């Protein structure tokens, strides 16, 4: 499994201005005006609020950033300008739901909630496997409070994901 690589590093994090520009770029790529965002969200996202985020006039909390990325249907790292559009690979992560549900490990509770939420949203009740985009790794790593670089190895060490053998 390939996990997405973050293009910035701790020595050179994106500036607040770069994050704001990225938020505007995502909106414009959809061809939406600020008013279009308000209308498409049924008023959940006010035009004045989105405009304030894009001008750096208002702080964007992590919860709001996650919600906005979900609304725009882009990975969080793309919304925040951490990776370039299209840079995150379309690889999938395939979870073994049975093992996740059976695990008594308390640190896996966020993963169990993540899986349950996706299954509920998809109305997918087969209860055996679940595939998600690799770009969801960032949100999952944040929920589990581990670095994204350790996510795949951690999930694999517990035997919670299916991996495809690499061809040599």
Domain ranges of the chain: 16-79, 92-162
| Domain 16-79 classification at class level | mainly alpha
More reliable by pLDDT, 14 or 104? 104
pTM for the predicted model, two decimal places: 0.47
More reliable by pLDDT, 10 or 15? 15
Q: Is the pLDDT of residue 44 over 90?
A: yes
One CATH from 3.90.650.10, 1.10.10.1930, 3.40.50.2000, 3.40.640.10 for 92-162: 1.10.10.1930
Report the pLDDT averaged over residues 71-84.
Answer: 81
Name the nearest CA neighbour of 80 among 31, 13, 2, 149. Answer: 13
Q: Is the pLDDT of residue 73 over 80?
A: yes
More reliable by pLDDT, 122 or 20? 20
Pull the structure tokens for residue 106.
């308390």
Per-residue confidence (pLDDT) for residue 4, from 0 to 100: 37
pLDDT > 90 fraction of the chain, expressed in percent and rounded: 27
Report the pLDDT averaged over residues 42-53.
Answer: 96
Torsion angle of alpha carbons 37, 38, 43, 47, nearest 10°? 120
């Amino acid at each position: 499994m390939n996990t997405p690589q973050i293009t910035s590093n701790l020595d050179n994090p994106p500036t607040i201005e770069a994050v704001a520009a990225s938020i505007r770029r995502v909106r414009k790529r959809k061809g939406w005006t600020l008013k279009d965002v308000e209308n498409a969200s049924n008023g959940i996202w006010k035009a004045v609020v989105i405009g304030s985020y894009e001008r750096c006039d208002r702080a964007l909390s992590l919860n709001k950033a996650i919600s906005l990325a979900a609304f725009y249907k882009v990975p969080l790292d793309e919304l925040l300008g951490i990776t370039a559009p299209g840079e995150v690979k379309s690889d999938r992560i395939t979870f073994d739901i049975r093992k996740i549900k059976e695990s008594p490990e308390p640190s896996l509770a966020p993963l169990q909630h993540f899986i349950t939420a996706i299954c509920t949203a998809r109305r997918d009740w087969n209860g055996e496997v679940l595939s998600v985009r690799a770009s969801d790794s960032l949100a999952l790593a944040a929920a589990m409070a581990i670095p994204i670089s350790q996510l795949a190895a951690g999930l694999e060490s517990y035997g919670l994901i299916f991996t495809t053998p690499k061809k040599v």
